Amino acid sequence: MSGRTELIGSKAHVAYTIVVFIVLASLDNAAIALIPSMVPELRDTFGVGTVAIGMLTAAQVIVTAVTAVGWGYLADSGSRKRLLLWGTLIWVGAMLWAGYTDSYWMLFASQVVAGIGLGSIASVGFSVISDFVAPKRRGLAMSFWGLSQGIGTLVGSLLASQAGASDHAPPFFILAGAGLLFGLLFVTTFDPPRGFKEPELAALHASEEAYEHTIARDQLPQIAAVKTNRWLVLQGLTAQVAYGSLIWVPLLYQEKVIAQVYSDVTGQKVGGLFAAMFTVGALFSILAGHVGDRWQRRNLGGRAYVSAIGILGAIPFFLIFFWIPLNGLDVTEGASTITYLGEIFTALFTNPWVAGAFLSALIALALTSADSPNWFALISDVNLPEHRGTVFGVGTLVNGMGRGVGTALTTVAAQTLQKSLAPPLNLALSLSVFQLFFLPTGWCYWKAAQTAPEDITAVRSTLASRAPSSDQHQKRI
């Protein structure tokens, strides 16, 4: 019995917990990426247009965002482990439902239900992960959390475009199976006490006392009064309109392949592989998180400056990425995924258009990768441990509204432009217009850089006042 007790909260148990959490976060984003990556198949199976599928995707994003607020508040006031387990079971069940349905409206309903469960992974998961991370390495650590979500999007896109090229069911079943497995593994994870890695609370946790503070409704005005929170939430409204449009990059490149006189099935497979390959730039989030940590040690507004520079610098490279054609593309019609991988990799070195698309995507995503780890870290920096899930939930709500708008309106704009511009040019123009929303995002981060030092100092002072003094700690020992 004592051996089991010693294992709980050990370094090995904590490492195991973080791995399970990261995988669950990646599966969250994989679920959201399924629908946009198999549009040609869904159009044929359900007899609907691209706009209808866009509305379905937007509805799931918005429901995920709305429910994240409630999940986040519950996480700050009670048991986080139980909430995450229920959330996982909800979205897993919805994925199974989606695999069996042959009706568009049943598919729509299943994705709305999935969004309810996915909202828990977003806000409750963040609340837990933030307690595993010390402030001085927060940007670097959060880069892995953010990167896992990018990898999830990549996996979901690959799974949908390849396994779902001729039947929509397999991707849903595979993802549901993975979610169920890691949901069961989650039962044995470590639930860290709030503020577990805060330096000011080290003496409190060393004395084996609990951090008893939880959120209450009368604290909501206090949270809203944190100036940096306002800028961090507001930036998501505009940033996520642009990010929401980017969910259609797989469709853009599928249309580019089809425009080279290939079939819809080949276009879905090859375009999906291109879109997945172009996400390599997201790996730079690790470097961006590290840079944010270094800058933050010299200037408490450093993380916000890194995000502003990354967001604004990416815009011209995204425009190149959208408009560059795939002239001279040479792939085998009706071939296997393995064959396409070899042909695409060869094209990187033999076709200047493919090489240009890859390079522009690499730079654009490397720059925007500065956003998520530093945003995650800033939310933790400027809020008390018992407020982080709620603030993240509110941020997720606003992000989801922006992303839902970007996701839905991109397809509407592309459909309208198709009257005068044939695919893929209509989609390229639509995506280009939505990148303008990154401009006010950069301004919000600049403002956050001005307010963050005061808010971070206030959090540190409050935590220090709640911890036992060194004399008190010695007496307890």
Q: What was the pLDDT predicted at 474?
A: 42
Q: What was the pLDDT predicted at 6?
A: 58
Q: What was the pLDDT predicted at 7?
A: 66
Give the Cα separation of 398 and 65 in Å (integer): 7
Mean pLDDT by groups of 10 residues along the chain of 477 residues: 56 83 84 86 88 87 87 81 87 94 93 91 77 81 80 86 87 93 84 78 72 85 94 94 90 92 90 86 89 94 96 96 94 92 94 96 93 92 91 88 88 90 93 96 97 95 77 43
104: domain CATH number is 1.20.1250.20
The reply to whether 218 falls in a domain is no
Give the Cα separation of 193 and 215 in Å (integer): 14
For residue 424, say if its preceding peptide bond is cis, omega within 30 degrees of 0. Answer: yes
Give the Cα separation of 355 and 361 in Å (integer): 10
Q: What was the pLDDT predicted at 469?
A: 57
The reply to whether 152 falls in a domain is yes
The reply to whether 32 falls in a domain is yes
Give the Cα separation of 207 and 193 in Å (integer): 13
The reply to whether 410 falls in a domain is yes
What is the separation, in whole angstroms, between the first and last Cα of the chain? 24
Give the Cα separation of 35 and 119 in Å (integer): 18
The reply to whether 209 falls in a domain is no
Q: What was the pLDDT predicted at 331?
A: 94
Q: What was the pLDDT predicted at 139?
A: 86
pTM over 0.75: yes
* Number of domains within the chain: 1
Give the Cα separation of 184 and 188 in Å (integer): 8
The reply to whether 197 falls in a domain is no
Q: What was the pLDDT predicted at 472?
A: 47
Domain of residue 451: give its range: 11-190+239-461
Nearest alpha carbon to residue 335 among 432, 413, 267? 267
Q: What was the pLDDT predicted at 362?
A: 93
The reply to whether 233 falls in a domain is no
The reply to whether 65 falls in a domain is yes
Residue located via tokens 């169920």: 180
Give the Cα separation of 426 and 86 in Å (integer): 42
